[in-house]
Structure 1
Amino acid sequence: MVSAETLRLLADIGFMATSGGYSKQARSLFGAIELARPDSVLPHIGTALNYMNLNLHQEALDTLEKKALTLEPDNATVQAFMGMALMLLGRSSESERCLNSITDSEDTLAASLASNLLSELRQHVNKKPSAPGLH
């Protein structure tokens, strides 16, 4: 069995790979992690992030909903990334509900991510031009 420390290291390498534009390599790493630790949400979060970096936002959301949430329905990090995917899909109200639900999470990293995403979401919504009409 792969140790938790090794799993985290491999996942970090996968996150760096997808962030650096090495999506094929990231996909391979996350696939290997999933085979080694099928009980972990990390490969699914990584796969979802890889999809988001490829502008495949629905696939990212599907991965999080169908794989990661099945393993850990209350995982705040999974929910934060779901909020991100929803935001990228333009589903702002769903994203806001999802992210608001974890801003007070004990998982401080997930809560921080959710707060940052909410801030970005609100800035985006406030920048939308108003509809033309009578003034």
Structure 2
Amino acid sequence: MVSADTLRLLADIGFMATSGGFSPQAQSMFKAIEQARPDSVLPHIGNALNSMNMNRHQEALDTLEKKALKLEPENPTVKAFIGMALMMLGRNSECERYLNGLTDSDDSLAASLASNLLVELKEQASKKSSSGLH
């Protein structure tokens, strides 16, 4: 079995690959992680992020809801990434509902991601309302 530290390192490499535009390589990395640790949400989060980086936001949402959330229904990081996918799809009210409860999470990644996404949502709303005034 792959240790937790090794799993985290492999996931980090996959996240760097997708962020760097190496989507096929990232996909291969996350597939390998899923095969090694089918009980982990990390490969599903990674695949979802990879999908978002390729502008396949519905695919990302489906992966998070049908795979990651199924494994860990209360995982705040999974919920934060669901919020991100919803925002990318323009489903802002659903996004806000997901993110509002996460800003004070003990999971610092989820809390930070939720806070940043909520700020971005408010900025988008502000731009829309100010551009509508003539």
Range of TM-score over shorter length: over 0.9
Task: Describe the superposition over 1:92-119 as per-residue Cα deviations: whole angstroms up to 9, x where unpaired.
Answer: 1000110102111111221011000100
Task: Describe the superposition over 1:69-108 as per-residue Cα deviations: whole angstroms up to 9, x where unpaired.
Answer: 0000000000000000000000010001101021111112
Gaps (5+ residues) in structure 2? none
Structure 1 runs (4+) greater than 6 angstroms displaced: none
| CA positional deviation for 1:130 | 2.0
Distance 1:108 1:31 in 2: 26
Distance 1:14 1:35 in 2: 14
Q: Pairwise mapping of residues 62-77 of structure 1 onto structure 2 (< 5 A)?
A: 62-77=62-77
Amino acid across the alignment from 1:112: S
Q: Pairwise mapping of residues 18-57 of structure 1 onto structure 2 (< 5 A)?
A: 18-57=18-57
Amino acid across the alignment from 2:3: S
Task: Describe the superposition over 1:45-65 as per-residue Cα deviations: whole angstroms up to 9, x where unpaired.
Answer: 000000000000000000000
Distance 1:113 1:90 in 2: 17
TM-score scaled by structure 1? 0.95
Task: Describe the superposition over 1:5-64 as per-residue Cα deviations: whole angstroms up to 9, x where unpaired.
Answer: 100000000000000000000000000000000000000000000000000000000000
Q: CA RMSD in A?
A: 1.0
Gaps (5+ residues) in structure 1? none
Residues 65 and 131 (structure 1), Cα distance of their counterparts in 2 relative to 1, 3 Å cut = farther
1:130 aligned residue: 132
TM-score scaled by structure 2? 0.96
Residue 15, structure 1, aligned to residue 15, structure 2: yes
Aligned length in residues: 132
